[in-house]
Structure 1
Amino acid sequence: MKKTLSGIAVDCVKGDIAAQKGYDAVVNAANAWLRPGGGVAGFIHAAAGPGLLEECRPLAPIKTGEAVITKGCNLPNRYVIHCLGPVYGKDEPAHELLANCFRNALKLAEQHKVTSIAIPVISTGAFGYPFKEAVQVSLTTLKEMMPELKSVKKITFVVRSDEKYNILKKALANFY
């Protein structure tokens, strides 16, 4: 399911974020210290190897809503953009912090001339953000940012479950 809006292809796939070939960058749903963890951060660090942690050390800690960029190390991607999303029910205003996370990731992608990016739906794992709400925040933010995107031409959301994939696919159909 690929659609194009303002010259940008927006898509979703079911799979492992750390195994997305053909993208300049992948986004890590990071913790403040940019260390390996559960979920997305664990998968990305495991696949990237110990060099990623070395790249991350001088950049940590980051604040909720912030994003930083490193090399991809052993990943099939040139860059990893690390975002710290809000913990739902704790970090407020959650929707604005999540929007900032997505916004800052796309700004870094633009600064580094990234043309394609694979991104999870940030904060919806251990941080407890309701998936449907997070998808809406992400797509609303993307729509607002599209006029500013010159390098980024392909954005693919990556999820692991059939249920989340179907929710995202439906939301993307309504996005256009």
Structure 2
Amino acid sequence: MEITGHPVAHLAVSVGSAQSPPPSNLDLDIFVTLGHFSAVGKEVHYTGSSGDSVPVTKGWLRVSLRKVNHDSPYHRDYLPRREYRSSDVLPVANGVIYECDVELWPTNMVVEAGRWLVFEVASVDTEGAGLFKHNSPIDRPPSKFEGTNYIQFGEGHENYIVLPIIPGGS
């Protein structure tokens, strides 16, 4: 199976705060990773832009920046277009479920028979993040990101990943 292009994850997420009353400026960062494992269960690593060992691809989204510009000529059903303007910031409220599309960096790979892919979701950078981590206390103040993050499952909540598979491969 050949995968070429931008994978996109669709997740139903929410954040819960233990503070009473909950802060009015909550937010949630979603970090997704697509990994590749050999037939014997060993992770297959690729070479990143700075020579470091990395997984197949990664993507991330700050939920307050989830607004998609459906009117953009660059928007596709399979590839959301965001402008990331300060005017695009949307509220994130305690206990509210948000449907989000998280774009992953484009990739090209072949998954041979007997090998498998692993999809990982986290709220912080994971292994293979490289040199540019998302760990600044200025950008990620604890008061804003202190909540418990949830992926919602059940009726009305779909979570999936769209892989750009090239037809005709083995």
Normalised by the length of structure 1, the TM-score is 0.27
Higher RCO, 1 or 2 (CA under 8 Å, sep at least 6)? 2
Q: Who wins on radius of gyration, i.e. which is larger?
A: 2
Higher strand proportion = 2
Normalised by the length of structure 2, the TM-score is 0.28
